[in-house]
Chain A
Amino acid sequence: MASWFRSGDFEATVLPNGIRLHAVRAPRYKTTLVTAFARSDLGDRAAWTALLPFVLKRGCRAFPTEASLRRHLERLCGTTLEAGVHRFGSHQIVSWELEIPCERFLPIVLRRDFLGEAFEVLRDLWADPLVQGGAFRSDYVAREKANLAAQIRSLVEQKDRYAYERCRALMAGKTALAIHPYGTLVDLEMVRPGSLWSHYRTWLERAPVDLYAMGPEAPQEILKRAMPALTFPRRAASSAPARPTFVKFSGVRRRAERARVAQGRICLGFATNIDPWDDGRASDAFLVYNGILGGYPHSRLFQQTREKESLAYSISSVADRATGWLFAEAGVAPGNRQKALVSILRQVDSLARGRIERKEFALTVAAMRQGLRRLVDLRAAQIDAHYEEGLLGRTFTRSAALARLTEVTLEDVRRVAGSVRLAASFFLGPA
């Protein structure tokens, strides 16, 4: 009999092989959303880990080709499966997301245990991959290496994301925080089918796995369907995340790159005094600060740099909760680069001097409140919030997050604003 404990808005239990299951009944949905996260530290094997979900779904013993897997999922009334690789601070996170129709909303002739069969698919992919002579199939590895290499090379296509990644790398220097979740082409080149299989076995043993389920079924029902499939042997991994890497900044790291572009992309990286592990009001005040600077249409960057000075169409700021860093990003006409830089930095400076109006503070808190309240209708975002807070050593609940937000004062935000300093400046401009 599994023992359940409360984990924020979820009920949680630990399977015999260390997988932590977090489940909550959300009766208004007609599908169950299942998300699995497995994490490891970003390092020189990042490209190897990034390859894993793609090689695994390429073929397992039950479904030797991805097309056969997809056809099986389609017969499960269109169960969807997405695999991805993400980053949170210095964690590299492999995710699997399945959305499974609930059979009782479908015609009787189509009804099957979709949820149980979906968990079996996860088991097939994770525990029973296609292995020949102690190695993944070489043609699958070769193909997925080529695909990942293409994805890495193509990062430059999304100019805003590219500018952000380059700016982040400038901020992070030689720390793991600089590593892209896809890894590098150099590391990728070293991958061989046999060594990737060894890497996978070690990774699966060590990576803490958190499995989330939200839908019309009760947690006990989810467990009943998951248990037969997800009890494959695996060493129970420690789940305590390490404190994030800290980077010391001195001066401003600057870089400009040229490309065949019509528009210049500015990305500025700012350091703050925020300790992401601090459970106090500072972390929340940091998010409010970001909202005032560039998180909303009422924010400084949108109202001033875009609407008043007509310098940009896309302009915003984003707070990275995992590092305490803040990024301001804008697309500007190449000839307006300096004007836009001055405009953005003027707003940062104005906030740093404590010139924050009660109105903009109140508007931002109101928008953030609605965002938190809205989470109840956004399953994936609710799961992400719970998982990411866990990586910062905290347990997320909507009600506690709302209560903490209410406690944030204008003075708290001014303190954060006073600590914000430019640490990196990146510009992508026309050749």
Chain B
Amino acid sequence: MRKALGRPSWRVERRFDPVFREAIVRAVRPGFPTLLFAPCRGTLQKFALVAVDCGAADLVLGAGVRRRELPAGTAHFLEHQLFEGESANAFDFFAKLGASANAYTDYGETAYHVSCVDRFPEALAHLLRFVRAPHFTQDTVEKEKGIIAEEIRMYRDDPDSACLQILHEALFARHPARLDIAGTFASIRRVTPATLYEAYWAFYHPARMVVVVAADIPLGAVLAILEKTCAEAPAGHPRPWRPARRRSVSEPSRVARRWVRRHLAIPLPKLLIAFKEGATGLRGVPLLRQRFSTAFLGDLLFGPGSLFHQEAAAGGLIDEDFGFGYQGDFDFGYSLAGGRTRDPARLRAALLRAVERAGREGISSDDFERIRTKMLGGFLKTFHSPPALGRTLGGCHRAGIHLFDHARALAALKPADLVRRLAEHFRVDRSATVVAGH
């Protein structure tokens, strides 16, 4: 059901889902970030997120003779530094409200979020203000370098993160997903206040921003806060202020390296195998179909009810550490499976055999219905947690998908779609394998 609400300045679109018995509102207004709002009736916890179309992969500004590259890790550095306000650290005010705030940087976006029970309007207003008030000084930037260096070290010591980083280097030849999100010791040394201002004004334009609110408060109150905090462009903005164009990286469909073996000081080896996405650049329903068919296949091939899982567990090739999934953004992606194993070569062979078997034997209607039923049940959890819902809505916005289209897309999925996707995506010639350990 779609219905327009009568507020002159905002174009408001509300959709109600009879299965969830929940509504989602989208509100747009020129010069303002897009708002997605879920009125989570009956929840005390309230959540807001500001996601900016600025991730670790956004490293190039301008074009032609004006083209310049930012140091790796700039988006993440910016995320850390925005919390430093001109007069006080952003955390101070959140602490006064008893609110819990944090942020994360991915390859495609940076998101700032806050969660609280009381005084949510103040917390939301503060979130919007500090994200729109850049203040970088030599002192704060220098101080942050020590903290980020420790963050880099921490992730290097984490075997799962280290393996993922090695895998990205194997999968991608040119895409910045091959770089560490936080950058390197050398690249963060090159960051200056000028670097951060330049990145900020290029990427933190309202046109590249979405605000997500999942809270039991009136929509009018949320819009009023947006009007109060976002009506004017942030102080010091360039004139004219235009958003940077979406990055364009031409990444080959082949992987950079098929095999990587790396020494890691871990008690048992780890194996990861990834299948590189060939069909990037999708948005909306085609992307939703692609994601569903991939998630569906992942579960069918490697999930806990699969023949692969049964045989590999019985043969001692996998344990509780084994996992699978899909990661990506509009211009890169991959399916991944693996974990701790005593025999990486045999585990790799078993994983590939599962893919080959599905290609040869097809997908049984029993398996198809089982996974579809499972996914349908999973949807029921969507509205349980305002923070989880908020992050899901942010992801949907980025992908150009409406949350309520999920059930319809799942219902429309046919076994033939999976067979097609299997042949298109789970290709050995587009796979990279990482073996880490002694």
Contacts and interface: CB of A to CB of B under 8 A. Distances in A.
Interface of A: 27-31, 65-67, 70-71, 74-79, 99, 101-102, 105-107, 110, 139, 143, 146-147, 150-151, 153-154, 156-159, 259-263, 296-298, 306-308, 310-314, 331-333, 363, 366-367, 369-370, 373-374, 376-378
Given A154-B340, A333-B153, A307 B89 contact: yes
Given A66-B310, A101-B380, A262 B153 contact: yes
A318 to B, nearest CB: 16
A157 B381 contact: no
A306 B151 CA distance: 11
Contacts of B154: 159, 263, 313-314, 331
Given A78-B373, A370-B117, A378-B385, 18 more contacts: A30-B384, A67-B313, A77-B380, A101-B377, A105-B20, A143-B316, A157-B160, A157-B266, A158-B158, A263-B153, A311-B146, A311-B150, A313-B148, A314-B154, A333-B150, A366-B97, A373-B44, A374-B44
23 contacts: A31-B380, A105-B19, A105-B20, A147-B316, A147-B320, A150-B267, A154-B266, A159-B154, A261-B157, A298-B95, A306-B147, A307-B89, A310-B146, A313-B150, A313-B154, A314-B154, A331-B157, A333-B146, A366-B98, A370-B117, A377-B43, A377-B44, A377-B386
A67 B307 contact: yes
A71 B304 CA distance: 8
Contacts of B373: 74-75, 77-78, 110
Contacts of A260: 265
A307 B144 CA distance: 8
Contacts of A307: 89, 143, 147
Interface of B: 19-20, 41-45, 89, 91-92, 94-101, 115-118, 143-151, 153-154, 156-160, 265-268, 303-307, 309-310, 313-314, 316, 319-321, 340, 342, 370-371, 373-378, 380-381, 383-386
B380 A157 contact: no
A76 to B, nearest CB: 8
A296 B95 CA distance: 8
A369 B96 CA distance: 12
Contacts of A296: 95
Contact of A331 (B150, B306, B307, B386): B150
With most chain A CB atoms within 10 A of its CB, the pick from B44, B89, B158, B305 is B305
B424 to A, nearest CB: 25
Given A31-B384, A296-B95, A77 B157 contact: no
Nearest to A331: B154
Contacts of B150: 263, 311-314, 331-333
A298 B91 CA distance: 7
Given A78-B378, A150-B268, A153-B268, A370 B99 contact: yes
A69 to B, nearest CB: 9
Contacts of B267: 150, 153-154, 156-157
Contacts of B19: 105
A280 to B, nearest CB: 25
A370 B94 CA distance: 12
A376 B377 CA distance: 23
Given A310-B146, A311-B146, A74 B374 contact: yes
B39 to A, nearest CB: 12
Nearest to B264: A260
Contacts of B116: 370
Contacts of A297: 91, 94-95, 101
B95 A367 contact: yes
B153 A312 contact: no
A260 B436 CA distance: 14
A78 B383 contact: no
A150 B268 CA distance: 7
Nearest to A58: B313
Nearest to B266: A157
A139 B143 CA distance: 56
A366 B157 contact: no
B390 to A, nearest CB: 13
A331 B117 contact: no
Given A263-B150, A366-B96, A157 B41 contact: no
Contacts, number: 185
Nearest to B21: A105
Contact of B377 (A70, A77, A313): A77
A13 to B, nearest CB: 26
A153 B266 CA distance: 9
A367 B265 CA distance: 39
Nearest to B373: A77
A125 to B, nearest CB: 15
Contacts of A333: 146, 149-150, 153
A212 B94 CA distance: 34
B91 A373 contact: no
B122 to A, nearest CB: 13
A282 to B, nearest CB: 23
Contacts of B92: 298
B147 A157 contact: no
A285 B30 CA distance: 50
A154 B305 contact: no
Contacts of A370: 98-100, 116-118
A374 B115 CA distance: 10
B68 to A, nearest CB: 28
Nearest to A148: B319
A307 B83 CA distance: 11
Nearest to B142: A310
Contact of A376 (B44, B94, B304, B380): B44
Contacts of A314: 150-151, 154
Contacts of B156: 262-263
Contacts of A147: 316, 319-320
Nearest to A265: B157
B56 to A, nearest CB: 17
A154 B339 CA distance: 12
Given A259-B265, A314-B154, A30 B100 contact: no
Contacts of A150: 267-268, 319, 321, 340, 342
A261 B385 CA distance: 37
Contact of A67 (B100, B148, B310, B385): B310
Contacts of A75: 370, 373-374
A184 to B, nearest CB: 15
B357 to A, nearest CB: 15
A426 to B, nearest CB: 16
Contacts of B41: 28
Nearest to B319: A147
Nearest to A109: B373
Contacts of A378: 45, 385
B319 A151 contact: yes
A147 B101 CA distance: 38
A157 B370 CA distance: 36
A418 to B, nearest CB: 25
Nearest to A306: B147
Contacts of A151: 319-320
Shortest Cβ-Cβ A-B pairs, 8 listed: A77-B377, A78-B377, A310-B146, A67-B310, A366-B98, A78-B374, A260-B265, A263-B153
Contacts of B376: 77-78, 106-107, 110
A264 to B, nearest CB: 9
Contacts of B96: 363, 366
